[in-house]
Each structure stands twice: as structure tokens, then as C-alpha cells.
Structure 1
Amino acid sequence: MISHTIRPLSAETWDAFEALVERHNGVFGGCWCIYFTPDCAERGQSYEGNRALKRKLIETGQNHASLVMIGDEAVAWAEYGTPDELPNIHHGKQYRAEADLIPDYRVTCIFVDKRHRKKGLAKAALQGALDQIATHGGGIVEGYPHEIGEKRMNNSFVYNGTRTMYEEAGFEFIRPKGLRNTVMRRTVAAAT
């Protein structure tokens, strides 16, 4: 794995995050990783509108992510938050109908700079999110990774990593969600 550090996404690291997103045309067509937020109704209004919303959410402490840094450059992130902060998940109707509990936190999006893929940085971003959740008191954490079959999937469809990656990070498979998504869960102890 490439040498890196993990930092929380905050007003102090915004410029590095912004540069990473801009290198990738706003990520997923200008989303700026706001799809899962309560204000995602504003999504699609404009590239600049999505950027402004993301910045507002970060500056007001309503959106969280672990940033993987190589020097001063952000090269990956894992977005996490409470279900109130990140209520919009794919296959939400099915998820709610089959839910046996509401987690304390969700990991909703993992992204790696195209120049640094296949170097273990998605795993590092996920672990960074789990470590940051521990500093916030820990709790039950869910992720919604993809089942990867024999056929290669476009990276755009693997926005939250793979089931194998989550299993390696200590998550337990709970159930399928949609056609190729899963519900994975683990408990994170509070940092001491």
C-alpha cells in the first residue's frame, strides 16, 4: 500500500477535497458526494450548486468523511454519518421494509482518485471512517457495498466498495439489497 495519512474532511481540508473532486469532474456527473444527504433534492441543479451545498454541509458539521492524503493531496475518501445526516440510500424502500434496526452510522460512498486505484486506498478510506466513528463514540455501523460477480463492473457502480472489502474490515453480511447491493454491519467500539 502506498504511504498515506488519514484526515477528517473539514473546513481545513476542504481545498484538498475540492481539488480531488474537480480532478474528476465533480464525481459521478457533478454530484460532489451529496446524493445521500437530506438536501439531495438540490442535487442536479448545477455543478456549482452541488459544490456549495457540500461545502455548507462540511462547514456546519453535517457531513463527514475520512480523507486519504498523500502529502497535501487528497486521493480518496469515505463518506459516513448518522442516518439523519445520510437518509437517502439506494433501494431505500426495500431497505426500510426489511430493516431490523437503525444503525448509529452509515458509510455511503467511497471514492478513489483514478490515478491511485488498486493500491488499497479504498480500504484505507473505510478504515479511516471507522476510526473517526470510534472517536465520535462508536456504535453500530452499516455499509452497503456491492456484490461483484464474474463480469467486470464499471467503477461508477462500485461507489461504496465491495462485499469482500467490508468482510476484510470486520463487517458481517446481513442481507442483500437491490440486485447487486448488500447490507453489511459491524460494531465499532468507542476510542479510549
Structure 2
Amino acid sequence: MAIEVRPATSFENVRVLVGPKRADANACWCLSYRIPSKQNLALHGPERGALVKDLVGQDPPPGVLAYDGDEVVGWAGVHPRADTSFAQSRKIPHVDDVDVWSVWCIKVRPGHRGKGISHHLLAGAVQFAFDHGAPAIEGYPVDNHGEKVDVTMAYVGTRALFERGGFTQAAVTDSVINGFPRLLMRRELR
């Protein structure tokens, strides 16, 4: 298996990973942290996909995709923190005034999980942020102490995943997902 991670410039491939099965369904589309909460709540059905299509056409696009050959197998949402809801978060603190980037979602398609693709996605998100001039990158994974995380909540990643990716704990947060506390993990890039 030769996994390649590339910028998410294909709307169709992003749709495969984060879009709904039905176009009118109210799926997340990985917008929950990418746009302000008020806007996120106001968008419904096809409006959500239309916004993602617009974001995919921007520079930089809203994340990276992992490919196994020609098949898209994973997604990671990554962007400057200033352009995400983390910029105003009361639960995820700011460590300092560095123009840090955030990686907030790591998703691997069913049938491809357990093969290390999340590690490739995190490494690809780090490289993507570095290539776009980010001085540092943060993630907000759960500190699950090796316990199983429900697959629907595993998108934030785990402390172990981020530690293996070269991140260190920079702060504790007031955020909890699936009963596990979330940490602010950071990796300096410059």
C-alpha cells in the first residue's frame, strides 16, 4: 500500500469522504469547525455541499486527501486557526499569538481503517501547513489512555496519534468528546 496525501482540490473526492449519501441530507461536510457556528447552523442540505465546493476551489483548499492508488481513502481538515471556529473557542485555548494552523478532522473510509492511513493524513496535513508558510500546527485530540473511542467521535484523533506525528502537549482544554478530555497538541514548523 503506497498512500499519497495531496491537497483537497477535487470536490468529488471530498464529497466521497465527508458528504452525505443523499444530496439533501444535513451532513457535517467537515464545516462544524471550519466556519462560524452561526453560519454552520444556518446552512442546510445542498447549501452545505455548495459551500464546500467553493472552499475546495480556494487557495489553500480546506484540507488534504489520502489516496491508495487512484482511490480516495482519507481526509484531514486543516487550515489557519484564524479562519476556523477555534479562533473564537472558549474551550480550546490560545497558547500564544503565533499564526498557527489547526487540524481538526481525520477521517478514513470504512474498509481502509487500521492500516495507518490516519498517520499519513496527519503527516500530510503537517506538510500542507508547512508548504503554506505555517509556523506551527495544532490538533485537539482526545486523551483516551488507549481506551476505544467511538468511531463517530474518533475524527479528532488521539493523543498517541499526534505524539507519533511529532506533536507535544501545549495546553489542556475544557473540551470533552466521547467522555475523554481533549488536549491542545502542537508542532512547531519553522
TM-score, normalised with respect to structure 1: 0.82
TM-superposed CA distance for 1:39, in Å, is: 4.5
For 2:141, the equivalent position in structure 1 comes to 145
For 1:127, the equivalent position in structure 2 comes to 123
For 1:117, the equivalent position in structure 2 comes to 113
Select the residue among 30, 38, 41 that pairs with 1:41.
38
Whole-Å separation in 2 of the counterparts to 1:108 and 1:25: 24
Gaps of 5+ in 1: none
Select the residue among 13, 16, 39 that pairs with 1:16.
13
SS of structure 1 residue aligned to 2:148? coil
TM-superposed CA distance for 1:66, in Å, is: 1.4
For 2:184, the equivalent position in structure 1 comes to 183
SS of structure 2 residue aligned to 1:93? coil
Identity over aligned residues, as a percent? 25
Whole-Å separation in 1 of the counterparts to 2:147 and 2:156: 18
For 1:168, the equivalent position in structure 2 comes to 164
TM-superposed CA distance for 1:38, in Å, is: 2.8
For 2:49, the equivalent position in structure 1 comes to 51
Aligned partner letter, 2:85: P
SS of structure 2 residue aligned to 1:114? coil
CA RMSD of aligned residues (A): 2.4
TM-superposed CA distance for 1:4, in Å, is: 1.7
TM-superposed CA distance for 1:130, in Å, is: 0.9
SS of structure 2 residue aligned to 1:94? coil
Aligned partners of 2:95 and 2:171 also within 8 Å: no
SS of structure 2 residue aligned to 1:119? coil
Whole-Å separation in 2 of the counterparts to 1:102 and 1:24: 39
Aligned partner letter, 1:176: V
Select the residue among 150, 154, 158 that pairs with 2:154.
158
Aligned partners of 1:67 and 1:77 also within 8 Å: yes
TM-superposed CA distance for 1:114, in Å, is: 1.5
Equivalent pairs counted in the alignment come to: 182
TM-superposed CA distance for 1:134, in Å, is: 1.8
1:112/1:156 CA distance change after superposition, 3 Å: same
